[in-house]
Amino acid sequence: MSTFFPDEADLPEDANANAGAPGFTNTPEGFRSGFVSFVGRPNTGKSTLTNALVGEKVAIMADQPETTRRPIRGIVNRADAQVILVDTPGMHRPRTLLGERLNDVVKDTFADVDVIGFTVPADEKIGPGDRFILEQIRRIKPNTPVVGVVTKLDKASRDTVGERLLELHNLLGEESEVVPVSATGGVQTDVLLDVLISQLPEGPRFYPVGDVTDEGVEARIAELIREEALQGLRDELPHSVAVQVDEMVPDPDNPERTMIYAVIYLERPGQQRILEGPGGRRLSGITHRARKQIIELLGRNVYLDLRIKVLKNWQQDPKALGRLGF
């Protein structure tokens, strides 16, 4: 049994160091590489952890569960290893066709990974949902190493963290390795990365050293817009939000500006009124905040045209799901 406790106020200087990393194909002896999937219930900090390890925002984050809808690959480059982190949708008992497809995505994803990071939050007891997910992992990938990850270390007392570690050890088995981390505080992310790398096979790089994700630019932009659209939404409305970038072209009047035309899809007209807000102020705020993030991503000025359309009950409609890329 291995547990990695952080020292008090222990903050890693750089969990993502890649100084001196050699070229794409020229790797040193003993170089390790492979795919790691973080799997857990919705809202257990998988996306935040992925971003922290990569050192750059590649996965959107929101307070609502089921924010992640497709596998997001973040790439960590070190001199001795390349780790491809696969942030997956949270597994859950589905209520819609979309939910069923998201669960299928998770199963397909971790069928091809080398190591699984099983995430549970420090501030919540392990329950039936966690056990259901672990059963799925062991059924589909019985021989794949599973590393326990207790997330949100900063949100629980030391005693509570100890309780969670014991619970997770009992669930995974005495020989399991469990690492408590705080992705927001950077606590023990370097330790977790070392543990994950130790479980990877030796092999070449899969991506050039400078890459941080294999997501296309338009897909990343759509996710940034959806992240801002989710702010402040409650009940079922967050699950009804989908975003597509229709067009992305240079501004004919300003070569240093990019014109982006995107659509937010909702399921009912009443949802449109909520998202627009009084006098269109909520939609204006979404556009403003998303534009700032897109400018940071692209490194140049952006004009963002954001519209709302109703696609009735798209979460249950196979054709609509296909149109939206699910």
Please report, rounded to a whole number, the percentage of residues in the chain having pLDDT higher than 90. Answer: 52
Residue 171 and residue 302 share a domain: no
For the stretch 238-250, pLDDT in tens is 678 889 999 999 9
Residue 188 and residue 240 share a domain: no
User: Does residue 13 have a pLDDT over 70?
Assistant: no
For the stretch 161-187, pLDDT in tens is 999 999 999 999 988 899 999 999 999
For residue 205, being part of any structural domain is answered with no
pLDDT for 17 equals: 40
User: Does residue 35 have a pLDDT over 80?
Assistant: yes
User: Does residue 89 have a pLDDT over 70?
Assistant: no
Residue 221 and residue 100 share a domain: no
Residue 244 and residue 279 share a domain: yes
Whole-number mean pLDDT of the chain? Answer: 84
CATH code (residue 121): 3.40.50.300
How many structural domains is the chain composed of? 2
Instruction: Kindly state the average pLDDT of the residues 198-210.
Output: 93
Residue 186 and residue 92 share a domain: yes
Coarse DSSP helix, strand, coil percentages of the chain, rounded to the nearest 5 percent: 35, 25, 40
- Report the 3 state secondary structure along 83-128: EEEEECCCCCCCCCHHHHHHHHHHHHHHCCCCEEEEEEECCCCCCH
For residue 312, being part of any structural domain is answered with yes
pLDDT for 18 equals: 41
pLDDT for 44 equals: 87
Of the pLDDT bands very low, low, confident and very high (cuts 50, 70, 90), residue 136 is confident
CA distance 317 to 326: 11
154 in Cβ contact with 182 (< 8 Å): yes
pTM of the model: 0.71
319 in Cβ contact with 309 (< 8 Å): no
- Sheet of strand 242-251, all strands in order from the earlier edge strand to the far edge: 242-251, 254-266, 301-310
Residue 74 and residue 179 share a domain: yes
122 in Cβ contact with 151 (< 8 Å): yes
For the ranges 64-78, 205-219, 230-244, 254-268, the maximum mean pLDDT occurs at 254-268
Residue 227 and residue 99 share a domain: no
Residue 284 and residue 144 share a domain: no
Considering only residues 314 and 149, tell me which one the structure prediction assigns the higher pLDDT.
149
Of the pLDDT bands very low, low, confident and very high (cuts 50, 70, 90), residue 317 is confident
The dihedral of CA 211, 214, 219, 225: what is its sign?
negative
User: Does residue 101 have a pLDDT over 60?
Assistant: yes
Residue 65 and residue 26 share a domain: yes
Residue 150 belongs to what domain range? 2-198
User: Does residue 67 have a pLDDT over 80?
Assistant: no
Residue 237 and residue 165 share a domain: no
CATH code (residue 280): 3.30.300.20
Residue 254 and residue 178 share a domain: no
Residue 261 and residue 187 share a domain: no
Considering only residues 61 and 111, tell me which one the structure prediction assigns the higher pLDDT.
111
pLDDT for 230 equals: 85
